[in-house]
Amino acid sequence: MKKYAMTIGGRSVNASDHFEVLNPANGEVVGLAPKTTAADVDRAVAAARAAFPAWSAKPSAERAAACNAMADALKANAEELAQLLTREQGKPLSGLGSRFELGGAEGWTRYTASIDLPVEVIQHDDNAWIEVHHKPVGVVGSITPWNWPLMIAIWHVVPAIRAGNCVVLKPSPYTPLSTLRMGEILAAVLPPGVLNIVSDGPEAGPAMTSHPGIGKISFTGSTATGRKVMSSAAETLKRLTLELGGNDAGIVLPGCDPAKIAEGLFWGAFINNGQTCAALKRLYVHDSLYDATCEALVAFAKTVPVGDGLDEKNLLGPIQNRMQFDKVSGMVDAARAAGARILTGGVAPNGPGFFYPITLIADATEGMDIVDREQFGPALPIIRYSNVEDAIARANASENGLGGSIWSSDPKQARALASRLESGTAWINKHGDIRPDVPFGGVKASGIGVEFARQGLEENTVIQVIHQ
């Protein structure tokens, strides 16, 4: 069984202890991940701090070239990483799966390489010379989740490095292997210490969030864990970018054609088996087309093959871990007991792996966990409404505010209603569409700060004003 290593200061570093990483499709051991200690985190931070003066002093063009070299390395090793990602995460190789994730990681890296933060001149005349400079923070700590482990690592790491920071990256204990391998590949094209990759362990996360040598934490994960990260970082007044949980609502307005929007609704909800922060989690449908929309979604769901991600024909795989599997199945069972109708799915098959069927739930209402809480899995509650104003109010009645969507045949009405959603992004006739050139982040309990585009790059800097 292969033992994976950390990368610290440009070198492969072994751990004294390891833990097993399992394939969620069959329970087999994929590999052994290093169990990171607080001392390992100290060594990684020290390596990053040692590399920072030289790296931050490099011209912007050299850092951009390094980011493009990272993109080249991702492209050259994409199939190896995709295969490993599927084995430990469960998502399929095909469709919107592992190869899609690696392609996105490469694309985000190349786009980020193209962004710059030039000096902003506020005044330059005989009376004053005032400039605004964007300077790197120092060492950025990145803590990533298990749903899109490689793509989200890129979202954290590449803007930090592009801005002149050095990085310590810690992946989820559920999916560390592909990140450790990707980090090894990327660190090889960077100066030693610019990118350091540790693994998980009881001490690792708290050691990073409280470490005085780390100036910023980028974290993607649940709101509950985000609160803990924020609390731990408070003592050292770290800067934070937090992309946290979502319970995104979509509202289907009268006049839509259910047959035309069913595919968009489905993939908005079930991309990555519903294990996406900005997936469609609650669907509000007007009385006039409620039954037709339910029927169209059920019909489309029957066309989507589910199974082991290594089988090229499958488009959805298992839920990634037992904890999440139990959460989703428990929510569906509770909704059924409370009077909801299970249109399709709702019962896990016998056999190995954390497979749960595509599940569509009609007659769901507020007060059910499947509506009020983020399910993060392949189950979608479909909620009936009669009044559009009521639907907007119900959609906004959540502590979360990551994304939302309006589905309408009237573009003017859709834009007006989209602007009233309490969400960082409001989509029209689609859901979950993100791009590297468009800022992305949440409001309310869905996070602090933004990622992507110029605004996301700025999050990895501090401002210094030169005033003469």
Q: Give the separation between CA 454 and CA 141, rounded to whole angstroms.
A: 20
pTM: 0.97
Q: What is the pLDDT along the chain (468 residues), one digit of tens a residue?
A: 899 999 999 999 999 999 999 999 999 999 999 999 999 999 999 999 999 999 999 999 999 999 999 999 999 999 999 999 999 999 999 999 999 999 999 999 999 999 999 999 999 999 999 999 999 999 999 999 999 999 999 999 999 999 999 999 999 999 999 999 999 999 999 999 999 999 999 999 999 999 999 999 999 999 999 999 999 999 999 999 999 999 999 999 999 999 999 999 999 999 999 999 999 999 999 999 999 999 999 999 999 999 999 999 999 999 999 999 999 999 999 999 999 999 999 999 999 999 999 999 999 999 999 999 999 999 999 999 999 999 999 999 999 999 999 999 999 999 999 999 999 999 999 999 999 999 999 999 999 999 999 999 999 999 999 999
* Domains of the chain and any CATH numbers: 6-244+443-467 (3.40.605.10), 248-428 (3.40.309.10)
Q: Which amino acid is at 93?
A: L
Per-residue model confidence (pLDDT) at position 1: 86
Question: Encoding tokens for residue 358?
Answer: 């595509």
Catalytic residues: 243, 277
277-311 core/surface letters (b: 16 or more CB in 10 A; e: else): bbbbbbbbbbeebbeebbebbbebbeebebbbbbe
What element of type H or E holds 78? helix 78-89
Per-residue model confidence (pLDDT) at position 221: 97
Q: Give the separation between CA 17 and CA 156, rounded to whole angstroms.
A: 27
